[in-house]
Amino acid sequence: MIRVNLLPRRREQKREGGNLWIVALAVVVLAEVIGIFFVHAGKKKELDDVVESNNVLTASINQKKAQVANHEAVKRDLAEYQKREDAITQLQAGRTGPTALLLEISRVLTPRKLPTTEPDAIERLRRENPGAIPSERWDPHRLWVTSFREDNKNVVIMGLGKTNDDVAEFLRRVSVSRYFQNVKLVRTEEKNVAAGKTTSSLNVVGFEMRASVRY
């Protein structure tokens, strides 16, 4: 009778089975490590991209803030320069404006001359209100300005005209002049004033006119 000892073979099989399990476990662990590595690499790439984008955005914001701060300084400087220019303009206007007004009044009261008007003012009046156009044939010697007062760009003109028509013509001339606006005839009244040697008195029309000035 022959006997065969199978125990060592069983141990060897068990040992081989254990080795295979260890190898399989190692492969799984290695696969997990590799997977974690790639996932971590991908997440790190995303994080780096986000950080880089955030840095770019922060730099852009800082640049914009610097530009805005400089813009406000420039605006303040421009406002200050504008104030100085306005002050200089007002001083120049205050020095030359009254002279220009008196010259305009002189022009209005000069024969065969018309007021200084805007380029299209007369043509516009010709279309819209022909009765407001000054007459070139009017004789300015028929009217006298006896008082001319200006206060803060408001003027009061007082005078005498031979007739109401003469006062109306003077009103038309002042109204179309580029140096006057909001012209109003405040009052008129008939007066008897002393005349020359040939006559003892003269009937005239006194008037008061108010307006604001532009210069």
Q: pLDDT, tens digit, for every residue of 81-119?
A: 676 666 545 545 555 567 888 889 999 999 988 899 887
Q: For residue 91, what are the domain limits?
A: 1-108
Query: Does 100 share its domain with 2?
Result: yes
Over the stretch 137-160, which tens digit does the pLDDT of each residue have? Answer: 999 999 999 999 988 889 999 999
Clarify whether residues 9 and 103 are in a common domain. yes
Residues 203 and 178 in one domain: yes
The pLDDT of residue 109: 92
pLDDT greater than 60 at residue 16: no
Q: How confident is the model at residue 58 (pLDDT cuts 50, 70, 90)?
A: confident
Strands 143-151, 154-161: pairing is: antiparallel
Both 24 and 89 in a single domain?
A: yes
Kindly state whether residues 13 and 104 are assigned to the same domain.
yes
User: Are residues 89 and 178 both part of a single domain?
Assistant: no
Q: Same domain for 155 and 189?
A: yes
pLDDT class of 210 with cuts at 50, 70, 90: very high
Q: Are residues 74 and 125 in the same domain?
A: no
Which of residues 188 and 29 earns the better pLDDT score? Answer: 188
CB 176 within 8 A of CB 115: yes
The CATH number linked to 144 is 3.30.1360
Tell me which of 7-11, 99-103, 124-128 is least confident.
7-11
Residue 53 pLDDT level (bands cut at 50, 70, 90): confident
Domain end residue (candidates: 64, 88, 108): 108
- Per DSSP, 143 falls in state E
> Residue 1 has what pLDDT?
53
Is 177 found in the same domain as 87? no
Instruction: Give dist(CA 130, CA 132) in Å, integer.
Output: 5
Same domain, 73 and 134: no
Most confident of 34-43, 52-61, 78-87: 52-61
38, 73, 108 - which closes a domain: 108
Q: In the prediction, which pLDDT does 174 show?
A: 95
CA dist., res. 198 & res. 16, Å (int): 157
Do 1 and 94 reside in the same domain of the chain?
Answer: yes
Identity of the residue numbered 131:
G
Whole-number Å distance between alpha carbons of 86 and 96: 15
Q: Out of 87, 108, 129, pick the residue that ends a domain.
A: 108
Mean pLDDT of 31-35: 71
Higher pLDDT, 1 or 99: 99
Is there a single domain that holds both residue 143 and residue 157?
A: yes
pLDDT in tens, 169-193: 999 999 999 999 999 999 999 988 8
Question: For position 170, what pLDDT does the model report?
Answer: 96
Q: Which residue has the higher pLDDT, 111 or 54?
A: 111
Q: Domain total for the chain?
A: 2
